[in-house]
Amino acid sequence: MSGEGPLRVAVLASGNGSNLQALIDGPHERGTIELVGVASDKPGATALERAGRAGVATSVFPRDDYADRTARDLAIAAWLEGLGVELVVLAGYMQLLSGEFIRSFSNRIVNVHPALLPSFAGLDAVGQAVAHGVRVTGVTVHFVDEGVDTGPILLQEAVELTYTRPMEAVMDEIHAVEHRLLPHAVELIAAGRVSIDPENPRLVRIEGA
């Protein structure tokens, strides 16, 4: 997947950007990837400050500046292509992406989701898991397809839920797992160790795993 030099990675984020920070402090600092751009739909997103502090180019694509999602996503795609982006990481990006965008970066978009997919897709996955009364939830890093959190699964890690555990403690552990799992997944891709099984597009091969 990677050409000359480290993999060129961009991040789309809407909020705090703690997963972006994990990518900055890990793979970007280590030089295993090069973060070349961070885009947000929210002008005030903390993720943009984090990118700025790390000297990474930023751009804002507010929903209201565009006729529709397709037009906005075309602008984002053009910006990313201008930066020579090889991999797009969704890190708390709260907008749905258009089918055109997803197809134009086919198998080059990854997302981190705070549940063991296919359980608890969509919003408030941790709240869904707690309400369902599961004992084990976790984190999934997956490639993004046109469904909601339905794409081929790259990495997952389990997190135990005990009935009595305060929600904040659960959230903290899930975030800690995200901050470890997402950089690991991105580094596996950067190392060229990740491929989709040609015989079964649901299966993600990880060389040496």
Positions marked active-site: 113
Secondary structure of 72-97 in the HEC alphabet? HHHHHHHHHHHCCCCEEEECCCCCCC
Are 69 and 23 spatial neighbours (Cβ–Cβ below 8 Å)? no
Least distance (Å) between residue 206 CB and its own copies: 7
* Residue spans of alpha helices (H) in the chain: 18-23, 29-30, 46-53, 69-82, 99-104, 125-132, 167-190
Question: Which residue, 53 or 202, has its beta carbon nearer to its own copies?
Answer: 202
Q: How far is the C-alpha of 15 from the C-alpha of 79, rounded, in Å? A: 20
Amino acid (one-letter) located at 55: G
Task: Report phi then psi at 77, rounded to 5.
Answer: -60, -40
Ranges within 160-179 binding its own copies (CB under 8 A): 162-164
Owner of token pair 């197809």: 103
Least distance (Å) between residue 203 CB and its own copies: 4
Least distance (Å) between residue 63 CB and its own copies: 33
Least distance (Å) between residue 138 CB and its own copies: 6
Residue 44 exposed, middle or buried by CB count within 10 Å (0-12, 13-18, 19+): exposed
Per-residue binding string, its own copies, 188-207, x by CB under 8 A, is ---------x--x-xxxxx-
Ranges within 82-121 binding its own copies (CB under 8 A): 116-119
Question: Which residue, 78 or 158, has its beta carbon nearer to its own copies?
Answer: 158
Per-residue binding string, its own copies, 121-160, x by CB under 8 A, is ----------xxxxxx-x-x-----------xxxxxxx--
Give residues in contact with its own copies (CB under 8 A): 116-119, 131-136, 138, 140, 152-158, 162-164, 197, 200, 202-206, 209
